[in-house]
Amino acid sequence: MSASADHPEATRRYKSPADLSRTSPPASTTTRHARITSTSTTTTHPHPSKRNTPYLPTPTELALLALYPTLLLFGALFSLVSPETRAAPYDRARQAHVQDAALAPSYFARKDNLFNVLFVKRGWAWITASFFVFVFTHPALRHNWARVRASVRWGVVTTWWVFVTQWFFGPAIIDRGFRWSGGRCEVAEDMVKEGEAGAKDVMTAAACKASGGSWRGGHDISGHVFLLVLGSFFLVQEVGWVAARWAKYVREERSVVMHDGAVKGAAVEGRKEKDEEEVSALEALGHGGRLVAAVVGLSAWMLLMTAIYFHTWFEKLTGLLVALAGLYLTYILPRWVPALRGIIGLPGI
């Protein structure tokens, strides 16, 4: 027998480089290489987008909210560069320019303009009417449970509006803030001292004006800014999410905290609806949604007019912040408080 036959390992151990290059890799190596290639291919797929935080508005909501300070800032800058506005006399006690038609810098600078009298002064009535027209006409809200929850959210926002502008266990928050910051009703206080008026005449702006007094000295939160921001974004929330889902145009999802602490998309709590035909954005709004869009558009215009002609910048800022506080309590807080969400729900879910 030869040496190679006696020692078979020697042949395998001492192969030349040329022999090695001609030798194909073992099947197991090929299989392992293929498996690795397959794995690397699957890992190149794009990862799902990061879930939005439940504690803050979604990116789209933030973009819409940013329009409000943008309008206020633009209005403030316009009032500084407009020759007519700068030249017009300004009455700081009234937070407005002189109301004489010949001296007012614009029709919208006058408090008796029709848009202010018929729309802003009755703003919550317009907001409420357009909201309920939408709720009772849109097919996505045909179930009673959806209408009830939408109505509860309207009740929460309306309560905040009442507390801030009408009544808060006595004077409204706006009036209390004015008094706490050093404001008073000048003429009426003299009348109280002389016994010609009651103490209630100096506690609210409306009573002060009705008694012939002048509301001076304190910080007056802009009620117009508060109303227009709160009401318009309330409508945007209630109509926007419903119409977007109806048109199958949802590009992002709100996140919610579940009872076990898990964070999931809000759609997991929605009821399964039968598939509907895709519709355009205009069709998804419906007649009620178009009315809402008109109210929101007019609110934005009057917010701009307020920013240009009325109140100081700080009064407008506090009006914005108080409105945002109410919106957060109604639309963001329920996303991470399951018990509250179980009562008032989320729009479009």
Exposure of 262 by Cβ count < 10 A (0-12 exposed, 13-18 middle, 19+ buried)?
A: exposed
DSSP per position, 255-279: EEE-TTS-EEEGGGGSPP-------
Exposed e or buried b per residue across 172-205, where buried means at least 16 C-beta atoms within 10 angstroms of its C-beta:
bbbbbbbbeeebbbebbbebbeeeebeeebbbbb
| 224 noted as active-site residue | yes
Of these residues, 7, 97, 224, 259, which one is catalytic? 224
Q: How far is it, in rounded angstroms, from Cα 159 to Cα 275?
A: 37
Identify the CA nearest to 329 among candidates 153, 162, 175, 149: 153
Strand partners, 156: none
Identify the CA nearest to 316 among candidates 74, 49, 27, 56: 74
* Side-chain half-sphere CA neighbours of 281 within 13 A: 6
Q: Are 147 and 135 in contact (CB under 8 A)?
A: yes
Q: How far is it, in rounded angstroms, from Cα 28 to Cα 36?
A: 12
Question: Is residue 221 classed as helix, strand or coil in its secondary structure?
Answer: coil
Of these residues, 7, 47, 138, 311, which one is catalytic? 311
DSSP per position, 167-183: -SSSS-HHHHHHHHTT-
| Strand-pair category, 215-216 with 255-257 | unpaired
Q: What amino acid positions are annotated as catalytic residues?
A: 224, 311
